[in-house]
Amino acid sequence: MPWLPAPPRKQVIAAFAAALLLAGTAGAQMPFSPFGARSAALGGASVGLGPDVAAGIDNPAAVPDRNFAFTVSAGLLTREAGDFLSPLRVIAGNNPVALASGSQPQSYADVVQSLRTLADPGNGFAGNGAVGLAIARGGWELSFTDWGFSGLMARTDLVHTALGANPATSIAFNNSAAAFRGLELKDVALSKSMSFFLGRVTVGASVHALFGTTYTKEESAFTTDVGDPWNLAQRALTGTARSHTDWSLDVGGLVSLGPVHVGGVFRGINKPAFPFADDGPAADRGRSVTWGQQARVGASVKIPVLGLLVAADYDLTVNETLVDSLRVRELGGGVEWTILLVVVRAGALVNLESPDRSPVFTGGAGVVIGPAKVDLGGWYRTDKSALGLTLTARAGL
């Protein structure tokens, strides 16, 4: 039962819709990252799933109104944009002086071509991960999440690409670099949801205390260890560090009409910023990472007879990343099938800002153990340029 007088229905819906429409023209920093394995398996669908303690971190209107609910989750997702890792691997391990001598003509040609490929706008590698927990009771939710965002791009030197020993043009003096950026946010959040019209309309808000650290460093493209995607994502959270404390505010809404849920969220309304260190690489000095604004809408529908749930999310904002010129605006969704105590999920998502719009396929499974649920979700692209895995446990009374 609501504990505050219910405002007129039209005013609640109109105010929330206006906030999302205004958000649609805003830029954002860092892609929207769903918290739980269930959302990861459903193509990133999260904000329209309905009341759930894990979804409450993504949309405060989804904070459940029950006696007690608890969740803990951990995951890491990585993606390559454009053609980045392969040309970087071609360059790494080569000696620029040997290339300049002309004794390795094929290697020289491959390296020069790879440098040109890396210079294409938006080519890079990005990752994001989270480890967190949340406790909810009676429409209130307290959470702690350690978010990590990473970016790797090339700062290419296309001036020094010639054979010979001329310091002005020789590849022997090429200073192309692999540039790493990272952002870690220790996020303590308090969320509250309130329902009106017999639970058909729910609104929520979250306030976050953000303890952020940025990282930045450069390594020579000729000596960097390209490694595997998991290692690259973790290495971005090293280098010259700078810590900064800020706060942020989120608002969300959820409309529930029987088996249909429609939701939306506007995160990082005040756009907190976290600066890079002044003694880091010259290209990052005086720059900062902005958290928010992010806006997303989503919907889900349950088909009881078939035991199916269909869900989808869509980003209203174009989200910047730690890689220059790499933008993310996702459309994704999936299907969830419940068979007795086992849940199977599959889905897909696509970055609408990507030139090729190659889909990422997602999937996972869950099991119900009394009042607890354990979910595993992952994502994969056929060329192995996108990998991810998230494990989440939930319990509610």
Q: What is the 3-state secondary structure (H, E, C) of 184-246?
A: EEEEEEEEEEEEECCCCEEEEEEEEEEEEEEEEEEEECCCCCCCCHHHHHHHCCCCEEEEEEE
Closest C-alpha to 98, from 174, 157, 156 = 174
Burial of 225 from C-beta contacts in 10 A (0-12 / 13-18 / 19+): exposed
Residue 17 has pLDDT above 60, yes or no: no
Per-residue pLDDT averaged across 3-13, rounded? 41
- Are residues 114 and 91 in contact, defined by beta-carbon separation less than 8 angstroms? yes
In the chain, % of residues over pLDDT 70: 92
- Give the confidence band of 217 by pLDDT, cuts at 50, 70, 90: very high
Q: Which two tokens stand for residue 288?
A: 């900062």
For 89-137, write each residue's pLDDT tens digit: 999 999 999 999 999 999 999 999 999 999 998 899 999 999 999 999 9
| pLDDT value at residue 63 | 96
Query: Taking all residues of the chain, what is their mean pLDDT, rounded to a whole number?
Result: 90
Query: How many angstroms separate the CA atoms of 69 and 63, rounded?
Result: 9
- Alpha-carbon 169 to chain mean position: 40
Say how many residues make up the chain: 397
Per-residue pLDDT averaged across 81-86, rounded? 90
| pLDDT value at residue 7 | 41
Q: How many alpha carbons fall within 13 Å on the CB side of residue 76?
A: 10
- Are residues 188 and 204 in contact, defined by beta-carbon separation less than 8 angstroms? no
Where in 221-339 does DSSP place strands (E)? 240-257, 260-267, 273-275, 288-290, 294-303, 308-315, 318-320, 327-328, 330-339
Residue 26 has pLDDT above 70, yes or no: no
- Are residues 374 and 54 in contact, defined by beta-carbon separation less than 8 angstroms? no
Q: What is the pTM of this model?
A: 0.89
**DSSP designation for 46:** -
Query: How many angstroms separate the CA atoms of 385 and 380, rounded?
Result: 8
* CATH 2.40.160.40 for the 9-396 domain, yes or no: yes
| pLDDT value at residue 29 | 66
Residue 74 has pLDDT above 90, yes or no: yes
For 270-313, write each residue's pLDDT tens digit: 999 999 999 999 999 999 999 988 999 999 999 988 889 999 99
